[in-house]
Structure 1
Amino acid sequence: MPMLDLPLDQLERYRPALTHEPDFDAFWAKTLDAARTVTDPPKAVRVDVGVRAVDTYDVTFAGWAGEPVRGWLVLPRGRAARWCVVEFQGYGVGRGRVHEHLLYAACGLAHFVVDARGHSRGDTGDISPVSSGPHEPGFMTQGAHDPEAHYLRRLITDAVRAVDAARDLVGAELLAAAGPSQGGGLALAVSGLVAGLDAVLPDVPFLCDHRRGALVSDRVPFLEVAQFLRKRPELAEETFRTLSYFDGMNFAARATAPALFSVALMDPVVPPSTVYAAYHHYAGPADIRVYPFNEHEGGGALHAMERIDFLRGLGDF
């Protein structure tokens, strides 16, 4: 895949204007205050999945409107963890299987793998009246007419409540939000909405600079927005206004925790300019790892150890 976005020297200067509406902070304060009125504690049931080197728990916690969201809690066996990494998943992925999530625990960190409501490889159905159980992706224009109704309002609320659940369940001293692609966008949302994070690890993060993404990328999920607006061009400004409430660069401008980004310069799914948009607006200390010849896999296994080293530099384990 050849490079399809801006050259690196232009990416390093790319800093579009923020798109948040005047009521952005009030919108999210109201949303999260309502979600936190549900005080049911998270439930963790120990499960045997055949992986003997870790302790594994099937977790259910209250997300948007108190609706149940699932997750795996994977702990290093026989020892307390100083760090807990709350990891969000990519588009369509869900929490998957426990054996796909062993690296952090193998390195001595607690790992809370959060499911994504309605995604086809997840277990968390979206039982809200406007949606359904797990199904194939197609979320970007669900509720495009109104931020109150958009799917991403529910998904981001779930992410914030996942951090609340991790604090209740894991007695870790340090807390990180992480994820690839959509999961990276959710980590950025959490970085701007949750106080007291110690690290943020967004890998090739999706959900940033929506207008640019819809103009540049010819792959889903950004393509969903372009396809919608081909049929309803008169709804473009309304749609991008709605998406601004869920834009990673607007959350990044409110973040304070140290962050390690990754970007792939041949990524056809998440154009690197959209990653740099969030990176350049990130208000806390931030660094970025650039993978010039990689597509949406980003740095893959190489970058996984970059994340481990970054966390170790913030607080050894």
Structure 2
Amino acid sequence: MSIPKTHPFPFDPTYGMTLDTLRAIAPPEAPPGFDAFWRKRYERAIATDPRPRVQRSALTHPAWRILDITYVSTGDVAIGGWLLLPRGGTVRRGVIVGHGYGGREAPDFDQPVEETALLFPCFRGMSQSRHPSIPPDAPGHVLHGIDRPDDYVIGGCVEDLWLGVSTLLALYPWLDGHIGYVGASFGGGIGALGIPFDPRIARGHLVVPTFGDRASWLTLPTVGSADSAQAYAKTHEGVLDHLRLFDAATAAIRITVPMLVAPALFDPAVAPPCQFAVANAVPTSRDNEIFVLDAGHFDYPGMLEQNYALREKLRRFLQAL
């Protein structure tokens, strides 16, 4: 292990926990109506026609044909992003790639896949999906609608993921049963919330996922998006009650497809106890794996080697789609 020994933060990004104590964290119980809340949202989402539109992008890459893409999500919200298609070979699988809370200004071309359509959506309010009523920055975005569960922006982002699946199937119907999701940090939390309720997603990869164990998420010091939510909760009652409906660990218990989850032991932006609440919630099976990183959202010795090892696992994991 190469957990960072020095750092600039006024708190301990390990929160005093070891791998053993992290692996012992249990996910929180679901609040009343949790499953009904998400099933209703899913039924509304898949009834929405995404109406995808593509055009040649100004971006170029030797291995990928790059298309700018837009599709319609719930609430008639326009989602923008990129679609990458292999220059050679056929499209045998589809993978949706989420992003962190910094948004995404371009697709990530370094994906360990072949014969794959890669969809890089920008979730509502951010980057290519800016919206006049949604703050584009993480501290403001994470608070948008937080007191109104039906309107909370995080729920809308999960629906954006589901409409991304609908978009891939509208463009390539033969990908039915062969669509996966990859997401880190913010994108990891969105994936943990969305995968359990969408049977069209066949497997998922989550890296340092956020939004797990919301009670801890609202109390543990952080430099991530939870910081603004913690400040807000001090003057607004009932925030935790609302957020329990958006607990990624509670949702992850319900995942039934193969998963590769990579939580970190040290992370100043997404508290490791919250990450492991998600990782531990994924049911144990021979198809699921937890790959422990020494740190997240922070450079550390051995990071390149760990990232390479995880990338190779992801390569094999996605080949099974």
Which range, TM-score by smaller chain? 0.7 to 0.9
Partner Cα separation in structure 1 for residue 308 and residue 68 of structure 2:
24
Residue by residue, what CA displacement relative to the aligned partner does 1:48-95 show, whole Å, maximum 9, x if unpaired?
A: 41323211111111112222101211111121133321011111313x
Partner Cα separation in structure 2 for residue 150 and residue 274 of structure 1:
20
Query: Aligned match of 2:196 in 187, 192, 195?
Result: 192
CA apart distance, 1:165: 1.1
Query: Aligned match of 1:153 in 127, 130, 155?
Result: 155
* One-letter amino acid of the counterpart of residue 214, structure 2: H
* One-letter amino acid of the counterpart of residue 154, structure 1: G
Alpha carbons of structure 1 residues 24 and 106: separation in structure 2 relative to 1, 3 Å: closer
- Structure 1 unmatched runs, 5+: none
Partner of 1:37: 47
CA apart distance, 1:224: 1.2
Q: Secondary structure at the match of 1:155?
A: helix
CA apart distance, 1:203: 0.4
Partner of 2:141: 139
Alpha carbons of structure 1 residues 251 and 29: separation in structure 2 relative to 1, 3 Å: same
* One-letter amino acid of the counterpart of residue 18, structure 2: P
Query: Aligned match of 1:84 in 60, 70, 94?
Result: 94
Partner of 2:109: 102
Residue by residue, what CA displacement relative to the aligned partner does 1:24-64 show, whole Å, maximum 9, x if unpaired?
A: 22222222323333325312223241323211111111112
1:214 pairs with 2:218:
yes
* One-letter amino acid of the counterpart of residue 270, structure 2: V
8 Å CA contact 2:222–2:271 kept in 1: the answer is no
Partner Cα separation in structure 1 for residue 272 and residue 290 of structure 2:
12
1:203 pairs with 2:207:
yes
Residue by residue, what CA displacement relative to the aligned partner does 1:8-30 show, whole Å, maximum 9, x if unpaired?
A: 11111111432x22212222222
Partner Cα separation in structure 2 for residue 23 and residue 42 of structure 1:
33
1:274 pairs with 2:287:
no
8 Å CA contact 1:35–1:65 kept in 2: the answer is no
Q: Secondary structure at the match of 1:261?
A: strand
Partner of 1:248: 248
Partner Cα separation in structure 2 for residue 244 and residue 209 of structure 1:
8
Partner of 2:123: 116
1:167 pairs with 2:176:
no
Q: Secondary structure at the match of 1:245?
A: helix
Alpha carbons of structure 1 residues 135 and 213: separation in structure 2 relative to 1, 3 Å: closer
Partner Cα separation in structure 2 for residue 313 and residue 156 of structure 1:
23
What TM-score comes out, normalization by structure 2 length?
0.85
8 Å CA contact 1:210–1:222 kept in 2: the answer is no
Alpha carbons of structure 1 residues 221 and 198: separation in structure 2 relative to 1, 3 Å: same
CA apart distance, 1:273: 1.0
Q: Secondary structure at the match of 1:227?
A: helix
* One-letter amino acid of the counterpart of residue 239, structure 1: V
Partner Cα separation in structure 2 for residue 125 and residue 222 of structure 1:
21
1:15 pairs with 2:26:
yes
8 Å CA contact 2:192–2:251 kept in 1: the answer is yes
Partner of 2:3: none
Report the count of equivalent residues.
Answer: 303
Relative contact order, CA 8 A, sep 6+: which one is greater? 2
* One-letter amino acid of the counterpart of residue 31, structure 1: R
Q: Secondary structure at the match of 1:269?
A: coil
8 Å CA contact 1:85–1:175 kept in 2: the answer is yes
Task: Name whichever of 21-30 and 133-142 sits farther off.
Answer: 133-142
Query: Aligned match of 2:65 in 51, 55, 69?
Result: 55
CA apart distance, 1:108: 4.3
Task: Name whichever of 303-312 and 75-84 sits farther off.
Answer: 303-312
Residue by residue, what CA displacement relative to the aligned partner does 1:153-172 show, whole Å, maximum 9, x if unpaired?
A: 21111111112212222444
Residue identity over aligned pairs, in percent, reads 23
What TM-score comes out, normalization by structure 1 length?
0.86
